[in-house]
A and B are shown apart, each in its own frame.
Chain A
């Protein structure tokens, strides 16, 4: 068996800490290694290249997740939003390192780079993947398929497999690599396209985001109306949860798009997820299935969401929610 090289693009947050999705990528890449010669190469474009302390803390953090090599390249803060610079950089590495697999997160820049590279190199891109596994020499990716209850196994015919992983797809593991090599790439970084200029306006407040929420109360088409969300809101407030919804609920205008869970919205990994009037289309399920405790309420006994629920009630939510609210109030007293 020939050795396998896996290149991944990792990112950091506003505090220069490794992003959760990047830890997931590192863990996923580590698990794709099949023998000693296989190698995980992590690439990070950083805007704190000169800040020694921060840089060394970052390097330390990356080494916890099993990479064999960390390639660091300098980037200016505003260039972090310029897709073509990243695409150029990764393309150069694909040519020099000849990786077999290149994995990206679904963050805005990473997603853009993956798609741009696919067009640049004329190679297939496997998007929204939730699982990767080898079947002999074939890398098989699993992702949500369209429809109520279907997943699809897909593969790419291209020599380099370009893949983007959905948030929350992998359980993060520590696989410390004491010998991780750190390489500073000194070569010139690319330029933005002529005329492209980006500035940061603001950072959204954390409370506007459902992605990090520990408790989520979500509603779907089965609520029947916007008023249904009022009941959900009461429950959410009581247990300190964030309101969220399915695509159907968002399309009906019952809840804003920023609260949409699923393939075209956000992926969440909540401690408690309560789904009300949600049948469980795969596009929604793929965005919440990793939540730790899933409670579903639906009046259809065949709702697919029941397959992944820890607790479920087959009944009308209008009856169930007021009772739940009452019980929790009693319990809290």
Chain B
């Protein structure tokens, strides 16, 4: 059985420059992986813990994003794929979904693809549905737990519990399927130093670029993105809040006097 885990490197800082297209310049900052993606990786590794299964990690990004793959291999993944081509820079979610869906042709045939529910930088949560639509397979978002790990190899289906707004639902879908995991569903394991050093010394990462994927250049990157950023701006707040500063006791005294007169505050703390 094969599971592909998609992971994304995101900026670890808040103040990041934008290019002229309004896209983040991702080369000039420290980087990290979101907890959502770690949850997806851990979910796959737990399946690998209990049955025969290969876990491959996939990331789309600049060359330095390969560190994500090393780390995942250090946690127990079997190999990694880096989708990397200058033409893919600036892709919106749909363009990214097209790239990843095409890459699926060059990956080991998978039973499941796992993703984080939302990336922390763009936070759309669209990718899982877009890939499912393009590949014509079912998807479940906000997954909390895989319920049939032990029989997953022989079962035709995967059974998962997931959050659907304020409901907990159980869904059974046929393989191959794509699942996106909720951030708090799995706590990722520590990196194993022996595996990590192996990841760096052995060549377990394959690069997939435009020469291999051969996508229509009009459908990827900035050119292929249908969502355009017009401008990034600092919102002007019309609010003029009351500021209390200096000695804490004095500030609190003053603020609470104002708050106790505020009808909203008064009503809520009385009730």
What is the interface of chain A, defined by CB distance below 8 A to chain B? 81, 83-84, 87, 107-109, 111-112, 114-116, 118-120, 122-128, 140, 145-158, 193-204, 206, 209, 214-215, 238-240, 247, 250-251, 256-258, 260, 263-264, 271-272, 281, 283, 292-296, 301, 306-316, 319-320, 323-324, 327-328, 331-332
Query: Across the interface, which residues of B come within 8 angstroms of A126, CB to CB?
Result: 227
Contacts A193-B138, A293-B265 hold; do A327 and B183 have CB atoms under 8 A apart? Answer: no
Whether the pair A314, B164 counts as a contact (CB closer than 8 A) is: no
Whether the pair B11, A199 counts as a contact (CB closer than 8 A) is: no
Whether the pair A204, B227 counts as a contact (CB closer than 8 A) is: no
Whether the pair B248, A310 counts as a contact (CB closer than 8 A) is: no
Whether the pair B255, A313 counts as a contact (CB closer than 8 A) is: yes
CB within 8 Å of A: which B208-235 residues? 225-235
Binds A, one of B46-54, B74-82, B122-130, B199-207: B122-130
Whether the pair B92, A195 counts as a contact (CB closer than 8 A) is: no
Assess whether B59 is interfacial by the CB under 8 Å rule.
no
C-alpha spacing A292/B265, complex, angstroms: 10
Contacts A199-B170, A201-B168, A264-B120 hold; do A155 and B242 have CB atoms under 8 A apart? Answer: no
15 contacts between A and B (CB under 8 A): A83-B139, A122-B226, A145-B232, A147-B16, A150-B234, A154-B229, A195-B172, A272-B264, A307-B237, A307-B239, A308-B237, A313-B243, A316-B248, A324-B252, A328-B269
Q: Shortest distance in angstroms between B112's beta carbon and chain A's nearest beta carbon?
A: 14
Whether the pair A314, B244 counts as a contact (CB closer than 8 A) is: yes
Q: Shortest distance in angstroms between A122's beta carbon and chain B's nearest beta carbon?
A: 8
Assess whether B97 is interfacial by the CB under 8 Å rule.
yes
Count chain B CB atoms within 10 A of each CB in A313, A314, A320 and give the residue with the most.
A313
Q: Of A108, A148, A206, which contacts B165 at CB under 8 A?
A: A108
Assess whether B271 is interfacial by the CB under 8 Å rule.
yes
Contacts A115-B129, A214-B268, A307-B239 hold; do A124 and B227 have CB atoms under 8 A apart? Answer: yes
Whether the pair A128, B121 counts as a contact (CB closer than 8 A) is: no
C-alpha spacing A294/B255, complex, angstroms: 12
Whether the pair A312, B226 counts as a contact (CB closer than 8 A) is: no
Whether the pair B166, A313 counts as a contact (CB closer than 8 A) is: no
Query: Across the interface, which residues of A come within 8 angstroms of B248, CB to CB?
Result: 313, 315-316, 319-320, 323
Whether the pair B269, A332 counts as a contact (CB closer than 8 A) is: yes
Q: Which applies to chain A's interface (DSSP): helix, strand, loop or mixed? A: mixed
Whether the pair B138, A125 counts as a contact (CB closer than 8 A) is: no
C-alpha spacing A298/B170, complex, angstroms: 42
Query: Across the interface, which residues of B come within 8 angstroms of A294, CB to CB?
Result: 241
Count chain A CB atoms within 10 A of each CB in B22, B138, B248, B256 and give the residue with the most.
B248
C-alpha spacing A81/B170, complex, angstroms: 10
Contacts A126-B227, A272-B268 hold; do A116 and B132 have CB atoms under 8 A apart? Answer: yes
CB within 8 Å of A: which B139-183 residues? 139, 141-142, 156-157, 161, 163-174, 182-183
Contacts A127-B124, A128-B123 hold; do A272 and B235 have CB atoms under 8 A apart? Answer: no
Q: Shortest distance in angstroms between A126's beta carbon and chain B's nearest beta carbon?
A: 6
Contacts A264-B118, A272-B265, A312-B242 hold; do A324 and B256 have CB atoms under 8 A apart? Answer: yes
Q: Of B120, B129, B237, B243, which contacts A247 at CB under 8 A?
A: B120
Q: Of B122, B125, B166, B252, which contacts A146 at CB under 8 A?
A: B122
Assess whether B245 is interfacial by the CB under 8 Å rule.
yes
Q: Of A148, A196, A204, which contacts B167 at CB under 8 A?
A: A204
- Smallest Cβ-Cβ distance to B156: which chain A residue: A195
Query: Across the interface, which residues of A come within 8 angstroms of B156, CB to CB?
Result: 195
Assess whether B259 is interfacial by the CB under 8 Å rule.
yes
C-alpha spacing A120/B170, complex, angstroms: 26
Q: Shortest distance in angstroms between B177's beta carbon and chain A's nearest beta carbon?
A: 9
Query: Across the interface, which residues of A come within 8 angstroms of B19, CB to CB?
Result: none
Whether the pair A146, B24 counts as a contact (CB closer than 8 A) is: yes
Query: Across the interface, which residues of B come within 8 angstroms of A316, CB to CB?
Result: 248
Whether the pair B227, A150 counts as a contact (CB closer than 8 A) is: no
C-alpha spacing A47/B246, complex, angstroms: 59
Q: Of B123, B126, B228, which contacts A264 at CB under 8 A?
A: B123
Whether the pair B16, A146 counts as a contact (CB closer than 8 A) is: yes
C-alpha spacing A214/B258, complex, angstroms: 20
Q: Shortest distance in angstroms between A157's beta carbon and chain B's nearest beta carbon?
A: 5
Q: Shortest distance in angstroms between A245's beta carbon and chain B's nearest beta carbon?
A: 12
C-alpha spacing A260/B123, complex, angstroms: 14
Whether the pair B164, A125 counts as a contact (CB closer than 8 A) is: no
Assess whether B105 is interfacial by the CB under 8 Å rule.
no
Assess whether B190 is interfacial by the CB under 8 Å rule.
no
C-alpha spacing A112/B122, complex, angstroms: 16
